[in-house]
């Protein structure tokens, strides 16, 4: 059975809204925050369905080359906050060195999530800035697959809105049901390595939260001290993106 948050847009994948975890935290939520994989290949039917979401702002978290063909979708403002991809290059180096394995791939993914937190503070600060600035207008944020960079952004947003860690993890792991990967069968990597990079694992998101704890004390202090998202900013996001009953 498809999850309640799942939205079908022909030409992309892993599209959903964050209303259900917000409802778990606050009693009600609106379809004002969406996440997805890239929107470059939406079909005419997919474009019509996208327009029905009334998204006013698209935040693209892909790297510069990844986003080079990004479309300008009618009725939306696009903001590019690039996080350059590093996983493939690191895996190729391990393959060249003869050290590539599933365990290495998992370690690379965990390190990548820590890097998101420590070295891309300005990007996530920008995400929150644009969420607040959007006010009552729906926002969609995405990367290439909508699971890693997007997954961390979603976890930070849900943390700021008071969603329980267990619900945040449940939402994060939905990518394993909803993401449809491109055909990588022609790439010469072992199946277990492919599995490690195409699926999300609890340890990946846990690595991101561990980095927040190690550097700032916990996720709440990371939001406040690193990203500038304190009580006032949380209230502004909650007012803009949810209905509290």
How far, in Å, CA of 68 to CA of 143, rounded?
13
How far, in Å, CA of 168 to CA of 75, rounded?
30
Q: Where do the domains of the chain lie? A: 16-241
Q: Which residues contact 20 (CB under 8 A, 6 or more apart)?
A: 3, 4, 5, 29, 171
How far, in Å, CA of 230 to CA of 224, rounded?
5
Indicate the CATH number for domain 16-241. Answer: 3.90.190.10
Per-residue pLDDT reduced to its tens digit, 131-179: 999 988 999 999 999 999 999 999 999 999 999 999 999 999 999 999 9
Q: Quick one: which H or E segment has residue 35?
A: strand 33-36
Per-residue pLDDT, 244? 45
Per-residue pLDDT reduced to its tens digit, 23-60: 766 655 567 899 999 999 999 999 999 999 999 999 99
Which is more confident, 19 or 87? 87
């Amino acid at each position: 059975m498809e999850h309640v948050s799942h939205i079908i847009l022909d030409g992309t994948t892993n599209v959903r809204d964050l209303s259900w975890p917000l409802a778990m935290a606050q009693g009600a939520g609106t379809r004002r925050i969406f996440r997805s994989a890239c929107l470059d290949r939406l079909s005419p039917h997919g474009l019509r369905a996208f327009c029905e979401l009334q998204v006013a702002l698209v935040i693209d978290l892909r790297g510069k080359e990844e986003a080079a063909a990004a479309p300008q979708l009618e009725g939306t403002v696009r903001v590019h906050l690039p996080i350059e991809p590093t996983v493939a290059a690191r895996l190729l180096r391990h393959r060249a060195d003869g050290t590539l394995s599933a365990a290495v791939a998992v370690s690379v993914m965990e390190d990548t999530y820590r890097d998101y937190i420590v070295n891309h503070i300005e990007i996530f600060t920008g995400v929150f800035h644009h969420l607040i600035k959007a006010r009552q207008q729906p926002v969609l944020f995405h990367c290439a697959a909508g699971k890693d960079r997007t997954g961390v952004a979603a976890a930070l947003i849900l943390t700021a809105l008071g969603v329980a860690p267990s619900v945040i993890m449940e939402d994060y792991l939905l990518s394993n049901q909803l993401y449809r990967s491109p055909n990588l069968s022609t790439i010469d990597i072992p199946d277990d390595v492919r599995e490690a990079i195409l699926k999300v694992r609890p340890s990946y998101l846990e690595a991101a939260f561990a980095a927040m704890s190690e550097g700032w004390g916990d996720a709440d202090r990371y939001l406040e001290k690193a990203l500038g998202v304190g009580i006032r900013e949380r209230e502004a996001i909650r007012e803009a993106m949810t209905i509290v009953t």
